[in-house]
């Protein structure tokens, strides 16, 4: 019996050490108020996006929930208004898998909202299928949709500077690659995508998030608009909902033990949106509320510039 107790105690100690040394992220503590500020959070009907929107609403900001699913987003807006006591939380339709929808959102926003102080590119997907424009879902939603949205709103951000663009990337950007000929031909998506293909496409899109932020910072230098990419941590959210059932069954027990909850996963996003004194770090990458080094490909300015030019063509900006 004593041997069993020692085994249980050892397993518990191992779990605690692993959780706090590897998985548990930092907590952002700030009393910053945002009254009079307007913030867009994409994909904010659930997960870390919803928790991020709630935090910002509690600080007094006008928060736009930019989401595809109307029913879920309106329910989330109601929850956030109720919990925060802030009635300036509204839903606006945005489907990042449709460049037409992105343009319609930007047009509506620019006509109806007098200012934009922070844009948080939070939404992402992993899974098979194509966007309305024929791109793979990960490329189209995680990168191209946000790329177009940011560019269409840049003038408003510049009018309200100091302002910020925060893009949620992932540690998996280190495994991403940039196959520009394939992207140009839209062959990044095929009808019989495997789990491995979807995983690689997701990694690529997260590398693009990092490179996009880097080039955006270069272009906006001196304008008063700063931008940051980040890794929110390993989070137990609805991101895995598009995985196959067997993969979900494999991942979920581990996720319950080790992964951050949405509140823990939102900390670095809020840090990048609000932390004072990081303006000189525009274009850089953060995790656990601290500056981190990105993979070698994520530091390649020539690659970032090439991705920007291709993204302009693919989204119809050039």
Q: What is the CATH number of the domain that holds 303?
A: 3.40.50.720
pLDDT tops 90 at residue 273: yes
Q: What mean pLDDT is reported for the chain?
A: 86
Name, of 113-122, 169-178, 230-239, 242-251, the range with top average pLDDT.
113-122
Residue 268 pLDDT: 96
Q: What is the mean pLDDT of residues 151-179?
A: 94
In a domain, 13, yes or no: no
Q: Torsion over CA of 106, 43, 212 and 184, rounded to 10 degrees?
A: -80
Helix (H) or strand (E) holding 306: helix 301-315
pLDDT tops 70 at residue 55: yes
Residue 9 pLDDT: 47
Domain limits for position 269:
28-315
Burial environment of residue 219 by CB neighbours within 10 A (0 to 12, 13 to 18, 19 or more): middle
Q: What pLDDT band is residue 157 in, cutting at 50, 70 and 90?
A: very high
Per-residue tokens: 136: 């793979």
In a domain, 273, yes or no: yes
Residue 28 pLDDT: 82
- Sign of the Cα pseudo-torsion (78, 84, 88, 94, in order): negative
In angstroms, the CA 123 to CA 95 distance is 10
Q: What pLDDT band is residue 251 in, cutting at 50, 70 and 90?
A: low
In a domain, 53, yes or no: yes
Task: State yes or no: cis peptide before 162, omega within 30 of 0.
Answer: yes
pLDDT tops 70 at residue 43: yes
Burial environment of residue 224 by CB neighbours within 10 A (0 to 12, 13 to 18, 19 or more): middle
Lowest mean pLDDT among 17-26, 77-86, 122-131: 17-26
pLDDT tops 80 at residue 54: yes
Q: What is the mean pLDDT of residues 139-143?
A: 96
pLDDT tops 50 at residue 193: yes
- Higher-confidence residue: 296 or 258? 296
In a domain, 20, yes or no: no
Nearest C-alpha neighbor of 233 from the set 288, 275, 271: 288
Task: Find residue 231's DSSP bridge partners.
Answer: 287
Tally of domains in the chain: 1
Q: What pLDDT band is residue 264 in, cutting at 50, 70 and 90?
A: confident
Residue 15 pLDDT: 42
| Exposure on the CB side of residue 8, measured as CA atoms within 13 A | 5
Q: What is the mean pLDDT of residues 294-307?
A: 94
Per-residue tokens: 21: 């040394």
In a domain, 15, yes or no: no
Residue 191 pLDDT: 47
Per-residue tokens: 202: 């997701």
Q: What is the mean pLDDT of residues 12-21?
A: 46
The helix-helix angle for 195-220 and 146-159 (nearest 10°) equals 20
Per-residue pLDDT tens over the stretch 117-135: 999 999 999 888 899 999 9
Q: What is the mean pLDDT of residues 18-26?
A: 51
Nearest C-alpha neighbor of 165 from the set 220, 108, 207: 220
Count, in order, helices (H) and strands (E) of the chain. Answer: 12, 8
Residue in the block written with tokens 């230098």? 221
Burial 153-188 (b: 16+ CB within 10 A, else e): bbebbeebeebbbbbbbbbbbbbbebeeeebeebeb
List phi, psi (to 5°) of 32.
-60, 130
Catalytic residues: 202
Q: What pLDDT band is residue 241 in, cutting at 50, 70 and 90?
A: low
In angstroms, the CA 196 to CA 202 distance is 10
- Higher-confidence residue: 15 or 212? 212
In a domain, 110, yes or no: yes
Residues 6+ apart with CB under 8 A from 145: 96, 97, 98, 99, 102, 123, 131
Q: What is the mean pLDDT of residues 218-224?
A: 96
In a domain, 280, yes or no: yes
pLDDT tops 90 at residue 235: no
In a domain, 274, yes or no: yes
Q: What is the mean pLDDT of residues 26-30?
A: 83
């Amino acid at each position: 019996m004593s041997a069993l107790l020692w085994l249980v105690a050892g397993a518990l100690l191992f779990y605690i050490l692993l959780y706090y040394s590897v998985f548990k992220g930092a907590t952002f503590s700030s009393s910053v108020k945002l009254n009079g500020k307007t913030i867009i959070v994409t994909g904010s009907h659930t997960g870390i996006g919803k928790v991020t929107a709630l935090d910002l609403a509690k600080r007094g900001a006008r928060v736009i929930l930019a989401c595809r699913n109307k029913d879920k987003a309106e329910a989330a807006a109601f929850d956030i208004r109720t919990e925060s006591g802030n009635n300036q939380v509204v839903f606006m339709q945005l489907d990042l898998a449709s460049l037409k929808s992105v343009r319609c959102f930007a047009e509506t926003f620019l006509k109806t909202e007098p200012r934009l102080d922070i844009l948080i590119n939070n939404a992402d997907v992993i899974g098979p299928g194509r966007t309305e424009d024929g791109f793979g879902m990960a490329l189209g939603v995680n990168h191209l949709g946000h790329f177009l949205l940011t560019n269409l709103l840049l003038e408003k951000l510049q009018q309200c500077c100091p302002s910020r663009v925060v893009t949620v990337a992932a540690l998996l950007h280190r495994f991403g690659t940039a196959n520009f000929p394939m992207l140009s031909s839209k062959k990044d998506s095929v009808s019989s995508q495997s789990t491995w293909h979807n995983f690689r496409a997701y990694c690529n899109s997260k590398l693009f998030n990092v490179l996009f932020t880097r080039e955006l910072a270069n272009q906006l230098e001196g304008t008063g608009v700063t931008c940051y990419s980040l890794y929110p941590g390993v989070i137990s959210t609805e991101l895995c909902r598009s995985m196959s059932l067997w993969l979900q069954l494999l991942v979920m027990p581990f996720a319950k033990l080790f992964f951050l909850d949405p509140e823990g996963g939102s900390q670095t996003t809020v840090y990048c949106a609000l932390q004072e004194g990081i303006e000189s770090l525009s274009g850089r990458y953060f995790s656990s509320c601290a500056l981190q080094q990105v993979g070698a490909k994520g530091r390649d300015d020539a690659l970032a510039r090439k991705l920007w030019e291709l993204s302009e063509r693919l989204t119809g900006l050039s």
